[in-house]
Amino acid sequence: MRTVILFILLCIGVPVFSQNFFTTYTLGAAGYKGDLQESAFRFVQSRGVWGVGCMLECSDRMFANVDFNYGKIGANDRYNPLNRARNLNFKSDVAELSARFEYNLFDLYQVKATPYFFVGIGVFRFSPYIEFENGNRGYLWEYDTEGQGFYEGRQKYKLTQWCLPFGGGFQYALSNKVRAAFSLGWRYTPTDYLDDVSTTYIDKDLLTRMRGENAVIIAYRGNQLTNGSPYPAAGTARGNPDTKDAYFFLTATLKVRMTVKGRKSESEKHAGSVECPY
């Protein structure tokens, strides 16, 4: 939390010393693609995201961004026709810090609107959970639902991972100081456990012995449905380990320059630009 507060203060305070800095403020929707939702664009399951950031103007069309985003993802098998009988669900908060390179197709000092694209690298933290009937959360990482940490070499997954943000959208110059951007940003991740689902069911008795009866109840919830089937045999597919999970943000961003900067003439067009380090 201290790191987040320091980052926000840095974004607010540092840019006032240069006209080449913007601060950015983001709101939007977050979603995910994984074993509980094979199609990423199921907005019935999307949740919110907000963010703040700093943006350095390297040239008229190139920018370097540092962003902090905080959102929530989740999915439920009731919307998953292929695995509805499995009856799993999850939610997870996602906190992400990233650095991105952004490129505008056109110069917003010369035009009012432009497509833009971005790519970068980031680090994020997640922790999938379910909500019990009493309102308490059950954090799935603690239950090792697929035997992580004790079964056939399955290691416990890390809750802090790296990601590759990339995407694009459109930007509009509302004034010489303020820009509005609308974008879809995808996040590739190296983990298959955003939803705590990846491989196969392990033996019910073994899971009970190692992690307790609640772990069995959480690992498979199809028997809670009317006419639902019992806990599957060990080795039955629970997820697809051949594909990694991903998440995305569909956002609207307000970008505010810290000092007013007019449209540049040809003679001064590059005089105030800042070169990005290589």
What is the domain range of residue 56? 2-263
Element (H, E) at 257: strand 246-257
Is 177 within a domain?
yes
- Domain annotation covers residue 213: yes
Q: Considering the domain boundaries, does residue 63 fall inside one?
A: yes
Please compute Rg for the chain using Cα positions.
Answer: 23
Instruction: Look at residue 262 in the predicted model and tell me its pLDDT.
Output: 52
- Cα 186 from chain centroid (whole Å): 8
Name the β-bridge partners of 98: 67, 122
Measure the CA–CA gap between 252 and 70, rounded to whole angstroms. 14
Residues in the chain: 278
What is the tens place of the pLDDT at every residue in 98-130? 999 999 999 999 999 999 999 999 999 999 999
Q: Is the dihedral of CA 10, 16, 18, 22 positive or negative?
A: positive
98 touches 67 (CB < 8 A): yes
Q: What percentage of the chain has pLDDT greater than the value 70?
A: 85
Instruction: Check residue 39 and give its pLDDT.
Output: 76
Out of 56-60, 132-136, 209-213, pick the least confident.
Answer: 132-136
Residue 144 lies in a domain: yes
Domains identified in the chain, total number = 1
- Confirm whether 231 is domain-assigned: yes
Look at residue 103 and tell me if it is in a domain.
yes
Minimum mean pLDDT range among 39-43, 160-164, 256-260, 261-265: 261-265
Helix (H) or strand (E) holding 216: helix 213-219
Answer whether residue 65 is part of any domain: yes
Give per-residue pLDDT as tens, 205-250. 999 999 999 999 999 999 999 988 999 999 999 999 999 999 999 9
Q: How far apart are CA 81 and CA 36, in angstroms?
A: 10
3-state secondary structure of 88: coil
Mean pLDDT of 32-50: 86
Collapsing DSSP states into helix, strand and coil, what is residue 237?
Answer: strand
- Could you tell me if residue 272 is inside a domain? no
For the chain, what is the mean pLDDT? Answer: 88
pLDDT reported for residue 41: 67
Residue 175: which CATH number?
2.40.160.20
